[in-house]
Amino acid sequence: MKKTLQQKNKACPQCLKHSFCRRGFTLVETLVAISIFTMSILALLSVLSQGISNTHYAKTKMTGLYLAQEGIEYIRNMRDTFVLYSERTGNDWTKFRAKLASCNLGNECGIDNGALSTDPSFIFKCSSGASGCKLYLNNGNYNATTGNESGFVRKIWAEVIDPDKEIKIFSSVSWNQGSGAYNITLSENLFNWVE
């Protein structure tokens, strides 16, 4: 019985010569398998990192686009207030145009959306200092006065096409992200539709 057990435990001399008879991995095979696995994981992490970066860029660009559109909407609201409620406020298209006269390219203005009215504080000149026309984030709302700095700067200016009938409004939002500076500028023509 001992003899048969010893014979079963002995390796066949011919199997030692052939690689297909060996069992397990060699050290080189293990290192190659680990390096292939590591390269696969690194490629996956690179793709995920790029996806997260692209998602953040798209979110920021959409926010900038909406803020630029909001700037035009504020000016349109101001035009409507001046024109529609002229009997109550004593304002009209001429006063609306005069309000925007100092806001031209090179002398951009900002909007204080905390004072949505025809007050002089509604539109203000962007200062050349550090604050400029920066937007601040306060409880999910962007404004020009309070909160944490959002990284966005919104500037609005007007170009008179026809003094009695048409003004072109520009709203530009800029921000820095990563290694670049980005800018979105929208424009819309506003008309004196009440005569």
- Say if residue 84's pLDDT is above 90: no
Kindly report the pTM of this predicted structure: 0.72
| pLDDT value of position 116 | 55
Phi-psi label, residue 12: left if phi above 0, alpha if psi -120 to 50, beta otherwise: beta
Share of the chain above pLDDT 90, in %: 34
| pLDDT value of position 11 | 54
CA distance 168 to 104: 10
Provide the mean pLDDT of the chain: 81
The helix or strand, by DSSP H or E, that contains position 77, with its residue range, turns out to be: helix 27-84
pLDDT-derived band at 112, boundaries 50, 70, 90: confident
Share of the chain above pLDDT 70, in %: 77
- 18-68: pLDDT as tens digits: 555 556 778 888 899 999 999 999 999 999 988 888 888 899 999 999 999
Cα separations (Å) of 157 from 32, 120, 136, 161, 193?
A: 63, 16, 20, 13, 21
pLDDT-derived band at 159, boundaries 50, 70, 90: very high
| pLDDT value of position 10 | 54
- Picking from 91, 64, 60, the residue whose alpha carbon sits closest to that of residue 78 is 91
- Say if residue 95's pLDDT is above 70: yes
pLDDT-derived band at 173, boundaries 50, 70, 90: very high
Residue appearing with tokens 């550090």: 130
What's the chain's length in residues?
195
- The CB density around residue 113, as the number of other CB atoms within 10 Å, is 17
Q: Considering only residues 118 and 26, tell me which one the structure prediction assigns the higher pLDDT.
A: 26
What residues are paired with 171 via a beta bridge?
156, 186
